[in-house]
Structure 1
């Protein structure tokens, strides 16, 4: 390779990196990228005086730093004033309207990460500085260069500061904490904490492993030159994206309060599904001349504010620990907390998962702990605040017997299980699961009603549901004619349901909705007579599933026969099309399609597809319709094959 070939191949490598890390549209395989990378690296090692400073090989420094130097920003990085409600946001906007009645605004997501200021001179990245106190920050240029979404070179020769947020996805945050647990290292409390900690590593090789992303949100020095005061902030950001930065999602130009509120509530709705933590929305007066006229207070601009989301991370104190017994007998420790409000809900309990988790995190009764809540999922404890301990904290002990029935316990790897099949807790949980939406979907038979029926000795197992009478129900406290008839009708409507629903409802260990569908579509009613080897012959079925199903069929033969007699389930044995392009492919549906997703899922399952609800690196296709949200964004980030409905049907 000569110098001309080096420059040509380097241009191709940089284009590959841009497509992969910024556009989320890979133009080459990992192998092709790696081969070209090492060819260029070999040339540079032979010719160190010819190395292009913007080469991707220059992203990781050779030696760790001893400490970070300080650097002053050319333009101050201001804090934003916060507003926390619709009323406060409207009051802030109306203050702008007093000066500029025709003002418009740029709204953008407020990412929860670590702020970073990038300085470019002559088109080259010359410095990267943390926010610090807004005037002076720490110089982390060596680490910033490891972040693939930060261009080392931009097609703009004037001096300019690009501001943005260094973030990490929720999925990568979980992986980092799992690795730290395995090494007995302290855990990061949240993705923001992980991003900031990763950015400030003295060894840039560690930073390079953390999969950080840079999301641009503003401009410091050089804004007057790039805008010439003839365009707004929204247009200026469009120009920044042309420099090679990631295009941030949901950036919107809003003309009035109603449009701002609409974007805010859309972001709030997307918050839990979006792969990166969002903690609000930034509202920015769009016109640069108006911004200069309004100016700044001592600490913040008058022309921008942060419209914050309700907090989902809080701290609380563990008062005690309750042991819950599930339908499979697994005992789950649950922390009873000092009540704390998160997203408008009072949280007084949080799962501790299992006793191995408690030991690894060293969680004790009396600890103050960090809690997070995502959507409707039960809150979970991330870590204890060990520095706040005063010596009164009590270690959490493993149980010796079942806390409900006093029965024998089995320790199975990280799980502790009650062995008593007649344990009240196991029976209740099995009935609740039997009636749940993805099982028999018995409307009106939630947890409270199941407990009431059980406590009044009307049901002792799932079979008893089909012996309930109108007279039984109407005699219960709080039950009237309509409620009783509705429940009896809902139970009656389970007769003739799909076989897979019954299999899922039976609560066979290791066999959920997907496995139930696959087994019944291939074997029909023969599922209850399968041998160990016949189960293993199915793709995706291992020893644990085979052992579990064979044992369940053996010990519950009488129950299965009675349920089949009562329900007479509908059997749909599907002939799988092994020649389909979707055969044995993992597929996620998202957005609004021309048919309900369940119907499209059935079509794809007949082609041998494996349907799942979440996007991961193992997903083969994401099929999307209108208003597709975070699942589509995540699929793009992972480079997964995307199909619209028309393309899907063409392949079918």
Structure 2
């Protein structure tokens, strides 16, 4: 059954007879052969599958697309233009411009045998060139499942159709950084989002990372979650040449193939849907060249996406700190891609209701490599399991769009425990206050962050925080960590973010405190907040309401005396006397006297704005060692002052 998101994409894309017939689309998608399809229908199906995949809503697994439908087109018409064209990425508004270098697709393989054939082909080319095959070095890197782009140092382009793309340099102006060394101008790469960040902050809103990645590129004003991900450096542009890798000979690759593939999947904290293999010898690259579709010296190995038909035992509701109730499908234990799977997210209760997910529902579950298992489709729907009451506190649930909410924010155990855990996790300057500890505290009547700070050693010992030998070290450690959380310096915007204000991630917290002091924000009106860039009317109203709700608890905790670093005010609201106050600074290269992140933090504290790329608005470029020429050339072209790290330190006195 096509999802509402897939139907919406089809409705807004170029209409064809097939895209207007969802029942026929579903029937074709379930096939294991494509020989009965007409040429027109086969091509239309391939194009629809590509559109849905690029939009983050794939209709069929990659292997089915390649080995069933694409293979059928190649068998019938080996020279068909579709086979030799680069699958177009989702289009964005704006004039298309020629890419500095063609961005081709990558040939795919789904078995070790296919990789071995490719290696034989490479070694044959080496022999023809008089190069000893045993001297060849091969490189393996993660195949990022992101949004392809190209950075020439001045412009960041979408891949488009491989020849022309759209200028999306705006993402750097919004604060997006470059992964790896942080240097611009390193060519092809992908815009990706940190997997851990996505699971913690975005999974409730987006079904997968690909859905989210496109949202950070759009031309119009970004939603708060997208801007926060960029400002928290969770969404980055990662050049392929900077990716961590494995390198070795053909013999080593063949002998240790499975271990190498497994290792590559763990090298980055981004979505990875395969491994890219390439030969490193430039002579062979030039000799083999490329087809109109892919480079012959490179290949992508994608682990077979294992699929299984699994029966749902029940759907379990889980209440988050925001009160949103998320459905988790409990499954008959099934082994997929080497892991025993017994649970899968159903995303939201709108999906549960519409697709009939309940006890006895037969679903198709897919998992490839390290990817989180996904409900691909519902095969046999049953009566959906829709809760009427919160499983944690028993309160009535209410619908808001596709989502169910528990509104008992002050007494719901799940919301209380998740809220406390969020506070300590966001402060990030303490240890010991994970889910198990907080659950135990709450079971003993501790139901707020303030109450935790009021605990004594005797109370913790009475609650059972002691080691098996009867010593009280666990309780003492918890008190030490509470003391540490107050003494260690943290930014005031991080402290504010720890309270979990709706629509106020760390990026919005910092932006708010760039315009108003921490204790003044509780007196702000909707009109005051709307004046700040990035705050729309709906968000501003929600912030004012949320601040009023947390004010009492906030003030009690604030008065405990935390070591807060004040965010410098901008727009003339504070008389800043530091030599860099009001300047826009870019740091580049490897710093010798300190970490770049610490220097950025210090510069902000002293009233400077810090950018990631050199533009006409940059005032100062601070250089360390191993500096690339891109930023230096941009600084020269714009007449920007360039100083060394030592000169910068001297400037600050």
TM-score range, shorter chain: 0.5 to 0.7
Take 1:559 and 1:282, find their aligned partners in 2: how far apart are those partners?
57
Map 1:252-291 onto structure 2 (within 5 A).
252-254=247-249, 257=252, 267-270=264-267, 273=270, 277-278=273-274
Matched, 1:330 2:324: yes
Residue of 88, 110, 130 corresponding to 1:230: 130
* Closer/same/farther in 2, CA of residues 306 and 546 from structure 1, 3 Å limit: closer
**Separation of aligned partners in 2, 1:570 and 1:503:** 10
Could you tell me how far apart the structure 1 residues matched to 2:625 and 2:309 are? 39
Q: Among 59, 83, 88, which residue is 1:188 paired with?
A: 59
Q: Kindly indicate whether the alpha-carbon contact (under 8 Å) linking 2:138 and 2:277 is maintained by their aligned counterparts in 1.
A: no
Q: Please give the residue correspondences for 1:508-519 in structure 2 after superposition, counting only pairs within 5 Å.
A: 508-519=501-512
Give the 3 Å change call, closer, same or farther, for CA 487–352 of structure 1 in structure 2: same
- Are the counterparts in 1 of residues 485 and 562 from structure 2 also a CA contact under 8 Å? no
Offset from partner CA, 1:258-286 (integer Å, 9 cap, x none): 99869656523236636x621586999xx
CA distance in 1 between counterparts of 2:341 and 2:390 reads 26
Question: What TM-score, normalized to structure 2?
Answer: 0.52
Give 1:442's match in structure 2, choosing from 430, 438, 446.
Answer: 430
Match of 2:475 in 1: 484
Distance 1:335-1:572 versus aligned 2 partners, 3 A rule: same
How far off its partner does 1:323 sit? 0.3
Q: In the aligned structure 2, how far is the partner of 1:506 from the partner of 1:380? A: 32
For 1:590 and 1:380, how far apart are their aligned partners in 2?
Answer: 40
Q: 1:187-226 to 2 correspondence within 5 Å? A: 187-194=58-65, 199=70, 210-211=88-89, 213-215=104-106, 218=118
Shift of the 363–310 alpha-carbon distance from structure 1 to 2, 3 Å rule, reads: same
| Structural mapping, 1:599-638, within 5 Å | 599-602=598-601, 607-608=608-609
Q: Secondary structure at the match of 2:513?
A: helix
* Residues 356 and 384, structure 2, Cα contact 8 Å, conserved in 1: no
SS at match of 2:514: helix
SS in 2 for 1:567: coil
Query: Please, which of 468, 475, 478 is the counterpart of residue 455 of structure 2?
Result: 468
* TM-fit CA distance, 1:465: 0.7
Asked whether the 8 Å contact 1:315–1:369 carries over to 2, the reply is yes
The answer to whether 1:498 aligns with 2:488 is no
Q: Evaluate the alpha carbon distance shift between residue 397 and residue 364 of structure 1 in structure 2; reply closer, same or farther with a 3 A threshold.
A: closer
In the TM superposition, what is the alpha-carbon distance from 1:466 to its structure 2 partner?
Answer: 1.0
Contact between 1:500 and 1:513, CA under 8 Å: does it hold in 2? Answer: yes
Please report the TM-score for the alignment, with normalisation by the length of structure 1.
0.52
Q: 1:370 touches 1:382 (CA, 8 Å); kept in 2? A: yes
Q: What is the SS of the residue equivalent to 1:349?
A: strand
| Residue in structure 2 matched with residue 411 of structure 1 by the alignment | 399
Equivalent-residue separation in structure 2 for 1:363 and 1:370 (angstroms): 13
Q: Structure 1 residue 487: deviation in Å?
A: 0.9
User: 1:185-231, CA deviations, whole angstroms, 9 ceiling, x for partnerless residues?
Assistant: xx534444455677469796798764495325848989867842622
- Is the 8 Å Cα contact of residues 280 and 309 (structure 1) preserved in structure 2? no
- Contiguous gaps of at least 5 residues in structure 1: 1-62, 65-131, 133-137, 148-166, 179-186, 239-243, 289-304, 613-622, 628-640
CA–CA separation in structure 2 for the residues paired with 1:312 and 1:488: 48
- Pair 1:520-2:513 in alignment: yes
Q: Across the two proteins, how many residue pairs are aligned to each other? A: 431
The answer to whether the Cα contact below 8 Å between 2:327 and 2:348 also exists between their aligned partners in 1 is yes
Q: Say which SS state the counterpart of residue 428 (structure 1) adopts.
A: helix
Deviations 1:374-398 (A, max 9, x none): 86x8x35241362xx4xxx523233
Q: Contact 1:189 / 1:382 at 8 angstroms: preserved in 2? A: no
The whole-number CA distance in structure 1 between the counterparts of 2:126 and 2:331 is 53
Aligned residue among 374, 378, 400 for 1:381: 374
Deviation at 1:468, TM superposition (A): 1.2
SS of the residue 1:460 aligns to: coil
Q: Determine helix, strand or coil for the equivalent of 2:364.
A: strand
**Which residue of structure 2 aligns with residue 91 of structure 1?**
none
**Which residue of the partner structure matches residue 85 of structure 1?**
none
1:547 aligns with 2:541: yes
- For 2:611 and 2:506, the matched residues in 1 are separated by 11
Whole-angstrom distance in 2 between the partners of 1:333 and 1:406: 16
* 2:415 corresponding residue in structure 1: 426
Contact 1:362 1:384 in 2 (8 A): no
Structure 2 unaligned regions, length at least 5? 1-15, 18-33, 74-79, 90-102, 109-117, 140-161, 164-186, 189-239, 285-298, 571-579, 614-621, 649-653
Moved more, 521-530 or 264-273: 264-273
Report the 3-state secondary structure (helix = DSSP H, G, I; strand = E; otherwise coil) of the residue aligned with 1:445: coil
Q: State how far apart, in whole Å, the 1-side matches of 2:247 and 2:416 are.
A: 52
CA apart distance, 1:347: 3.4
In structure 2, distance between residues paired with 1:504 and 1:645: 38
Residues 646 and 221 (structure 1), Cα distance of their counterparts in 2 relative to 1, 3 Å cut: closer
Matched residue, 1:88: none
The alignment's C-alpha RMSD in Å is: 5.7
Q: Which residue of structure 2 lines up, in the alignment, with residue 452 of structure 1? A: 440
Cα deviation code 1:432-470 (max 9, x no counterpart)? 11121x33543101001111111122x112211111111
Is the CA contact (8 Å cut-off) linking 1:281 and 1:307 kept in structure 2?
A: yes
Distance 1:453 1:272, change over 3 A: closer
Q: Helix, strand or coil for the counterpart of 2:131?
A: coil
Distance in structure 2 (CA, Å) of the matches to 1:594 and 1:196: 54
